[in-house]
Structure 1
Amino acid sequence: MSAMGRAARVRVERRLTTARHGARLLDRKQHILADELERLQLRAELARSEWEDLARDAALWLRRSAALDGSGHAEAAAPSEPAGVQLRWGSAMGVPYPEDPQCRLPAAPQTGGSSALAYTAVVHREALEAGVRYAAVQRAELLLAAELAATRTRQRAVENRWIPRLENELLDIRRQLDAQELEESLRLRWAADRNSGNAGRPAQASGTKGVS
C-alpha cells in the first residue's frame, strides 16, 4: 500500500473532521443568533410603538402650545445645547451591538408661557429618549441579522460544498488504496503459486547417461 496514499488519506480525514466540527459550531452559532435576534425584534417593535406614540403626542402638544403661546415662545423653550447619547455595548457570539442607551439631555431654559408649553417640552424630551432607544435596538437588530445571514451562508458552504468535496476526495483515495492493496495481494498470491509449483517439480539429474 502506498505510503503517499496513506498520508493523503490521513490528511483528508483530518480536514473532513475539522469541516464537520466547523459545521456543528456554525449551526450552534446560528441558533444562538436567531434566538437573540428574535428577542431584539420584539424589543424593537415595542420601542418603535413607544416612540411613535410619544412623537405623535409631542407633535400634538407643539401645535397646541404654538396656538396658545405663539411660535416665538416654542423656539425660546428649545435648549441651546444638543443632547448626547452614551451607549453600552452588548455582545452575542462575538458580535457587538448597542444596548441600553443613556440620553444626556441639556437643561431646559426658563421661559414664560402656558402649561401647555411646559408639557410640550417634557413630552418632546420623552420622545427623544424613546427615539434613541428605538434607534439603538434597531441598529442592534441590523447587526445581528447581518451576522446571522453571513453565518448561514458559511454553514451552507461548509455543508453543501466543502464537506461533500472532502468526502468525495476521501472516497477516491480509499478506492485507490483498495485497488493497490488488491493488486499487491494478487501479486503476492501469484508469486506464492509460482514458488509452490517450482518446489513440486523433481530436480533434473546431472551427469552422463549410463550404458545398459
Structure 2
Amino acid sequence: MSPQRRRVPPGRAGRLKLRHSLDSAQRGADLLERKLRLLLDKERTLRREADEAGRLWQTRLAEAETWLVRGVLIGGEQALAQAVPADLARVEIEWTSLMGVTYPSAVSWRAPARSPVDRTPGNTALAHAEDAYRAAVRAAAEHCTARTAADLIAAEAETTRQRVRALRRHWIPRLTHELSIIELALEEAEHEEAVRRRWAASPHRRSPR
C-alpha cells in the first residue's frame, strides 16, 4: 500500500474523501487547461508583435546607417560629433499581469531634447539620420518588450502544461484507481452483509449446537 493510500480512511469516509479529491483534481485540471489556452493565445500575439517590431527596428536601423554615411561623407566626422545632443533618450516600461504572470506591456518613449546651446545637424543627411536612429531605438525597445513578455508568458505556459500533465497522467488516474479499490471493497462488504442478513432471517438455518 502506498503512503497516499494509507492516508485515506477506510470505508465510506475514505470513499467520500477520494471522491472529493478526484472532483477537485478534475476541476483543477480543467481550470489549468483554460489558463494554458489563454497563455498560448497571448504568447502568439506577443510573438507577432515582437516580429513586427523587430522588422521595423532593422528597417529603421538600415535607414539610419545609410543617412549617417551620407552625412559623414558630406560634413565629415566633426559634423557628426557636433550634431549629437547632450540629453539622453528616456525609455520607461509599463508592466501588467495576466493569469498570475507579470510582464512588460508597453513602452513610454521620450526622445532626447536639444537644448538652445546644442548645435543642430550640419546637413540634411545627418538630420535624417537622427530621426531614423530615434525611430530605430524606439522600435528596438518595443521589440525587446514584446519578446520579453512572450518569453515570460511562454515560461508560465510550460509550467502550467506540466501541472496539467501531472494531474491528467498521474494524480487523477491514481485517485481513480484508489477510488475503484475502495468502492469494490465496500461493494463486497455490503454483499457479505446482505448475505448474512438473509441467512439470519432464513427459517431453515441450522441451530447452533
Structure 2 length as normaliser, TM-score? 0.86
Cα RMSD after superposing both structures: 1.9
Distance (Å, rounded) in 2 between the aligned partners of 1:81 and 1:30: 44
Q: Which structure has the larger Rg?
A: 1
Equivalent in the alignment of 2:37: 31
Q: Conserved in 2, the CA contact under 8 Å of 1:105 and 1:125?
A: yes
Distance 2:45 2:94 in 1: 18
Q: Which runs of 4+ in 1 moved over 6 A?
A: none
Letter aligned with residue 46 of structure 2? L
Kept in 2: contact 1:62–1:117 (CA 8 A): yes
User: Which of 181, 195, 198 is the matching residue for 1:189?
Assistant: 198
CA distance in 1, matches of 2:133, 2:109: 13
Matched, 1:11 2:10: no
Q: Does the 8 A contact of 1:54 with 1:127 survive in 2? A: yes
How many matched pairs? 196
The superposition leaves residues 75-100 of structure 1 with CA deviations (integer Å, 9 ceiling, x where unpaired) of 23223343221222233223222122
Secondary structure, counterpart of 2:91 in structure 1: strand
Could you list the per-position Cα deviations for residues 133-183 of structure 1 after superposition, in whole angstroms to 9, with x for gaps in the alignment? Answer: 111111111111111111111111111111101100100110111121122
Deviates more, 1:44-53 or 1:74-83: 74-83
Amino acid paired to 2:149: A
Superposition map of 1:168-187 within 5 A = 168-187=177-196
Residue of structure 2 equivalent to 1:148: 157
**Residue aligning to 1:210:** none
Is residue 103 of structure 1 aligned with residue 112 of structure 2? no
- Secondary structure at the residue paired with 1:70? helix
SS at match of 1:110: coil
Which of 136-145 and 72-81 deviates more?
A: 72-81
Is residue 129 of structure 2 the alignment partner of residue 123 of structure 1? no
Q: Does the aligned pair in 1 maintain the 2:53–2:143 contact within 8 Å?
A: yes
Report sequence identity in percent: 37
Q: Shift of the alpha carbon at 1:13?
A: 0.3
The residue type paired with residue 103 of structure 2 is: Y
The answer for the alignment partner of 1:206 in structure 2 is none
Contact kept? 1:73, 1:111, Cα under 8 Å: no
1:82 to 72, 88, 97: 88
- Cα distance in 2, alignment partners of residues 197 and 122 from structure 1: 106
Asked whether the equivalents of residues 36 and 92 of structure 1 are also in contact (C-alpha less than 8 Å), the reply is no
| Structure 1 residue 137 corresponds to structure 2 residue 143 | no
Q: Matches of 1:79 and 1:159 in 2, distance apart?
A: 60
Q: Which amino acid aligns with 2:40?
A: A
Q: Distance in 2 between matches of 1:50 and 1:196?
A: 96
